[in-house]
Chain A
Amino acid sequence: MTIFDKESAFGHEPGRTVPPARRAADDADLPGLTLGSAGEPGGRRGGEPHGGPSAVAPPPPAVAASASPASPGVPVFPASSAVLASAAPVRRRYGLRPGLVAPLLFLVVAAVAALAPGLLSGTDPLAADPLHALAPPSAEHWFGTDHLGRDVLARIVHGAGHSLAIGAAAILFAAVAGTVLGALAGLSPRYLDEVFSRLFDILATFPELLLALLVISVTGPGTGNVILAIGLVQLPNYARVIRAQTFVVRRSGYVEQAVTFGLPRPVLILRHVLPNVLGPLPVIATIGMGTAIIATSGLSFLGLGPLPPSPEWGSMLAEARNYLRVAWWTVLFPGLAVTLSVVSLTLVGRHLQRRFERRLP
Chain B
Amino acid sequence: MSLIEVEDLRVAFPKAGVQAVRGVSLSIAEGECVAIVGESGSGKSVTARTLVGLTGPGATVTAGRFSVKGRDALRFGQRGWRRLRGRFAGLVLQDALVSLDPLRRVGDEIAEVLAAHDVVPRAGRAAKALELLEAVGVPEPELRARQYAHQLSGGLRQRALIASAIAADPPLLIADEPTTALDVTVQAQILRLLAARKAQGTALLMISHDLAVVSSIADRVLVMKDGVVVEEGPTARVLSDPDDDYTKLLLAAVPSAASRGTRLSAIATGGVSLRTPLPERKVDHGSPVVEVSRLCAAYGPRKVVDDVSFEVHAGETVGIVGESGSGKTTVARLVLGLMTPVSGQVRLNGTPWSTVSERERRPRRSSVQLISQNPLDSFDPRYTVGRLIAEPLGGPSRERRDRVAELLARVGLPADLMTSHPRRLSGGQRQRVAIARALAPQPQVLVCDEPVSALDVSIQAQVLDLLGEIQAADGTALIFISHDLGVVHHISDRVLVMRDGQVVEDGHVDEVFFLPKHDYTRELLGAVPKLVSAEL
Contacts and interface: CB of A to CB of B under 8 A. Distances in A.
- Whether A and B touch (Cβ < 8 Å) is answered with yes
Interface of A: 13-25, 27, 30-37, 39-53, 55, 57, 60, 89-90, 252-254, 256-264, 272, 275-276, 359-361
A80 to B, nearest CB: 12
Contact of B182 (A19, A25, A52): A19
Nearest to A359: B381
A24 B373 CA distance: 8
Contacts of A262: 361-366
Given A41-B427, A262-B366, A89 B45 contact: no
Given A42-B41, A261-B441, A47 B94 contact: yes
10 contacts: A19-B183, A20-B454, A23-B454, A27-B376, A30-B16, A36-B425, A47-B94, A49-B20, A253-B374, A258-B391
A41 B225 CA distance: 11
A260 B45 CA distance: 39
A190 B216 CA distance: 51
B377 interface: yes
Contacts of A43: 40, 426-428, 430-431, 454-456, 459
Given A33-B16, A43-B456, A45-B455, A16 B325 contact: yes
Interface string B460-489: 000000000000000000000001000000
A108 B209 CA distance: 54
A45 B453 contact: yes
A69 B452 CA distance: 38
A21 B177 contact: yes
Given A50-B45, A60-B102, A257-B370, 4 more contacts: A17-B328, A36-B425, A40-B428, A55-B93
Interface of B: 13, 15-18, 20, 39-46, 49, 54-59, 93-95, 97-98, 102, 154, 176-177, 180-183, 209, 299, 304, 324-330, 333, 336-339, 361-366, 368-370, 372-374, 376-382, 391-392, 420, 423-431, 441, 450, 453-456, 458-459, 483
Given A46-B180, A50-B49, A32 B454 contact: no
A30 B13 contact: yes
Contacts of B329: 15-17
A359 B40 CA distance: 23
Contact of B336 (A23, A24, A260): A260
B45 A53 contact: no
Contact of A47 (B45, B182, B420): B45
A52 B363 CA distance: 49
A45 B457 CA distance: 9
Contacts of B377: 252-254, 361
10 A-B pairs closest in CB distance: A43-B427, A41-B41, A262-B365, A253-B377, A51-B56, A52-B56, A48-B45, A20-B453, A40-B428, A31-B41
A181 to B, nearest CB: 24
A261 B154 CA distance: 36
Contact of A32 (B16, B176, B382): B16
Contacts of B370: 256-257, 260
A342 B89 CA distance: 51
Contact of A48 (B16, B46, B154, B326): B46
B437 to A, nearest CB: 8
B17 A90 contact: yes
Nearest to A90: B15
Contacts of B426: 34-37, 39-43
Given A15-B329, A262-B365, A360-B381, A52 B425 contact: no
B168 to A, nearest CB: 21
A41 B42 CA distance: 9
Contact of A52 (B58, B93, B373, B427): B58
B40 A15 contact: no
A252 B381 CA distance: 11
A40 B45 contact: no
